[in-house]
Amino acid sequence: MDLFKARLDVKLPQLRAERTTLLKEHGDTQISTIAIEQVLGGMRAVPALLCETSSVSADEGLRIRNIPILELTKQTPEDIFFLLCTGVLPNDAERAEISAAFASRANVPDSVWDVLKALPKDTHPMVMLSIGILVLEKESAFRKAYEAGASKDDSWKATLEDCVTLLGGVTTIAAAIYRIRFGKGDLIVPKSGLDWSANFAYMLGVSDDASWQDLVRLYLVLHSDHEGGNVSAMTSHVVSSALSDVFYSVSAGLNGLAGPLHGLANQECLRFIMDLRQEFGGVPTDEALREYCVKRLGSGQVIPGYGHAVLRVTDPRFTAFHQFAEQHNLNDDNVQFMKKLFAIVPEVLKEQGKAKNPWPNVDAASGSLLYYYGMTEFEFYTVMFGVSRAMGICSQILVHRMLGSSIVRPKSVTLAELGSMIK
């Protein structure tokens, strides 16, 4: 990873100088106030976290290093990881280096399989992923360097090593989880000559179709990062701020991704579509679907895949998947449901008047496409998301290590203290 490290080495002085200047010259400048509804409402919109890798705006959605995600849909995940970490897309030599580095870590220790195979057969795939990553922790270069008394200034180098070990291995682990958990037969070993996402698509053993490989590539690109305040990224950052290594930190973040209001929504989306198929025995009329959605909202359930804590427009990642379905002429019942829901749900949510954003997020489309290619086990979908999101989390942790960021320790208050603050 010499080329990769060299890029970061060049960036380092400017990055650290920027932080030092802000702290020294403007450390006590007020940038925001906080209202009680934010304290009680999940700290929504409080600008209290630093994230250099990507940003999400209400009216446009995700930008990675200031490039709109819809301009990055042809890249490889290796390109995206390099971009997240360094701020630029890799040249050919850098791309080859990172692909080779991931491939060199694709074979994980046998202890991972021993642990995964010992779990109860009906363990959720996200539990398996989180545990599989924790088993890799034994390999942590960062922890070893810390124990050997390495300087804090250089700790990012061991962190980068850990990121590559984690990302190189996570596709092998995730593919194995799919095959073990859903009885798909022998594990498929990584194949030389394939890049990271093509190998992942191959090891899953879902389809030989070339466009399946392309979907997995796109999937890993689109879910890679979503700035620093979402549950998984923020959780990982908090854990990592205690100088826990990336294996502890990513595993912790993925436990948050496993929640139905966050990454599990893609599983819930497909479950929702399967329930609809059963209810109607096929694709219903617009009016029947509309009534079903209204009834569901009336019973206090959410419509999975719709709404967002930040976005106020259609998620561009949904648009990218929608375009993929059009370009590849995917048109089974689930894809039709995905399109029909897009035409109906926003109006229903607007009429209900609760959701601040009635538009679809990425989860409204991703599952239908995976299902189309034969990945019908929707409990696995959040693992696909997790593999991709591990890139963003790793890159965010790496940048924090480069900056020497502080341990996270905000102040908590009681309801009574909030009451007395009003007075």
Catalytic residues: 262, 308, 363
Using rule CB under 6 A, residue 342 touches ligand CMX: no
The single-letter DSSP state of residue 88 is S
Binds ligand CMX by CB under 6 A, chosen from 254, 330, 348, 355: 355
Coil, strand, or helix at residue 303? Answer: coil
- Please list every residue from 308 through 327 that binds ligand CMX, using CB under 6 A: 308-309
Does 90 help bind ligand CMX (rule: CB under 6 A)? no
At closest approach, how far in Å is the CB of 355 from ligand CMX?
Answer: 3
Q: State which of residues 53, 55, 99, 361 lies at the interface with ligand CMX (CB under 6 A).
A: 361
223 binds ligand CMX (CB under 6 A): no
**Residue of the chain from 263, 316, 346, 386 that contacts ligand CMX (CB under 6 A):** 263
The DSSP string of 336-388 is HHHHHHHHHHHHHHHHHT--S--SB-THHHHHHHHHHTT---GGGHHHHHHHH
227 binding ligand CMX? (CB under 6 A):
no
Give the C-alpha separation, 365 to 354, whole Å. 22
297 forms part of the interface with ligand CMX (CB under 6 A):
yes
Nearer to ligand CMX, 203 or 303 (CB): 303
Choose which of 354, 413, 418, 421 interacts with ligand CMX (CB under 6 A). Answer: 354
Radius of gyration of the chain (CA): 22
The nearest distance, CB 386 to ligand CMX, in angstroms, is: 11
Contact predicate 127/181, CB 8 Å? no
What is the number of H-type helices and E-type strands within the chain?
19, 3
Kindly state whether residue 61 participates in binding ligand CMX, applying the rule CB under 6 A. no
Q: How far apart are the C-alpha atoms of 102 and 172, rounded to whole Å? A: 11
- Could you say whether residue 271 binds ligand CMX (CB under 6 A)? no
Q: Which is nearer to ligand CMX, 48 or 242 (CB)?
A: 48
Distance set, CA 283 to CA 155, 268, 279, 303 (Å): 55, 18, 10, 17
Other CB atoms within a 10 A radius of the CB of residue 416 amount to 8
Instruction: Give least dist CB 173 to ligand CMX, A.
Output: 21
DSSP state of 306: B
On whether the CB atoms of residues 233 and 226 are closer than 8 A, the answer is yes
* Member of 61, 228, 229, 304 binding ligand CMX (CB under 6 A): 304
Select the residue interacting with ligand CMX from 80, 112, 221, 265 (CB under 6 A).
265
Q: Please say whether the beta carbons of 389 and 252 come within 8 A.
A: no
| Ramachandran category for residue 193: left, alpha or beta (phi over 0 → left; psi -120 to 50 → alpha) | left
**Dihedrals φ, ψ of 64, to 5°?**
-100, 120
Q: Which is nearer to ligand CMX, 161 or 315 (CB)?
A: 315
Please give the structure tokens belonging to residue 139: 């390999």
Of positions 247, 306, 372, 381, contacts ligand CMX by CB under 6 A: 306
Element (H, E) at 243: none
Rounded to 5°, the CA angle 216-220-222 comes to: 115
Return the number of the residue (169 or 253) whose C-beta is nearest ligand CMX: 253
Q: Is the CB of 302 or the CB of 403 nearer to ligand CMX?
A: 302
User: What is the distance between the alpha carbons of residues 265 and 305, in angstroms, rounded to a whole number?
Assistant: 6
Looking only at residues 229 through 248 of this chain, which bind ligand CMX when binding is defined by CB under 6 A? 230
Q: How far apart are CB 367 and ligand CMX at their closest, in Å? A: 11
Residues 99 to 158 in contact with ligand CMX, rule: CB under 6 A: none
- Residue 63 has φ and ψ, to the nearest 5°, of -125, 130
- 305 binds ligand CMX per the rule CB under 6 A: yes
Q: How many positions of this chain bind ligand CMX (CB under 6 A)?
A: 20
Cβ–Cβ < 8 Å for 81, 8: no
Minimum CB separation of residue 158 from ligand CMX in Å reads 30
Question: Which among 164-172, 213-221, 351-359, 407-415 is the span making contact with ligand CMX, rule CB under 6 A?
Answer: 351-359
Residue 367 touches ligand CMX, criterion: CB under 6 A: no
Q: What is the maximum alpha-carbon separation in the chain?
A: 67
CB of 340 to ligand CMX, least distance (A): 16
Region from 109-117, 210-218, 305-313, 372-380 binding ligand CMX, contact rule CB under 6 A: 305-313
Query: Would you tell me which residues interact with ligand CMX (CB under 6 A)?
Result: 230, 261-263, 265, 297, 302-309, 354-357, 361, 363
